[in-house]
C-alpha cells in the first residue's frame, strides 16, 4: 500500500473495538481511564473522527497502520510503535497497511 495522501474509503472493513477496562480515578473525581483493543481486519480502516476533549495514547500490538492526524503528514506505525492523540485532534486516516494480515492496537483514554 502506498503512503501517499489517502482519502477514507467507506467500503473498507471497520475495526472491532473491544473494551478492556474502565477505572474511576480516585484522585480526579468524575474522571476515569479507559482501555480498548482496536482490531483492524485485513484492509480495515476507521472513518475520520474527532477526539473532542479526550487524549488518547496508542500502542500498536500487531501489524502496521497508516495514521494521519490534523494536517500532519501521514505516518506508518509499525508493531511496537506508539503515538499520542491530543484533545481536539481530527483523526483523518487510521488504516491497516496489510490486505492479508490483521493489525491491532491498544488505546488508552
Overall number of domains in the chain: 1
> Residue 13 belongs to what H/E stretch?
none
> Tens digit of pLDDT for each residue in 49-77?
888 888 999 999 999 999 999 999 999 99
- Would 33 be classed as within a structural domain? yes
For residue 2, the model assigns a pLDDT of 47
CATH number of the domain where residue 46 is located? 2.60.120.10
- Would 9 be classed as within a structural domain? no
For residue 54, the model assigns a pLDDT of 86
For the whole model, what pTM was predicted? 0.88
- Would 24 be classed as within a structural domain? yes
Which structural domain, as residue segments, surrounds residue 72? 16-108
Could you tell me what percent of the chain has a pLDDT over 90?
A: 83
Distance of CA 71 to the CA centre of its chain: 16
- Would 6 be classed as within a structural domain? no
Residue 107 has a CB neighbour count (10 Å cut-off) of: 16
- Would 11 be classed as within a structural domain? no
- Would 7 be classed as within a structural domain? no
Amino acid at each position: 500500500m502506498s503512503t501517499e495522501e489517502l482519502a477514507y474509503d467507506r467500503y473498507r472493513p471497520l475495526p472491532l473495538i473491544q473494551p478492556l477496562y474502565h477505572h474511576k480515578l480516585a484522585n480526579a473525581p468524575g474522571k476515569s481511564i479507559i482501555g480498548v483493543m482496536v482490531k483492524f481486519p485485513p484492509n480495515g480502516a476507521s472513518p475520520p473522527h474527532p477526539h473532542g476533549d479526550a487524549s488518547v495514547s496508542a500502542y500498536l500490538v500487531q501489524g502496521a497502520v497508516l495514521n494521519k492526524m490534523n494536517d500532519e503528514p501521514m505516518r506508518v506505525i509499525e508493531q511496537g510503535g506508539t503515538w499520542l492523540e491530543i484533545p481536539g485532534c481530527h483523526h483523518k486516516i487510521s488504516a491497516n497497511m496489510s490486505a492479508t494480515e490483521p493489525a491491532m492496537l491498544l488505546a488508552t483514554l
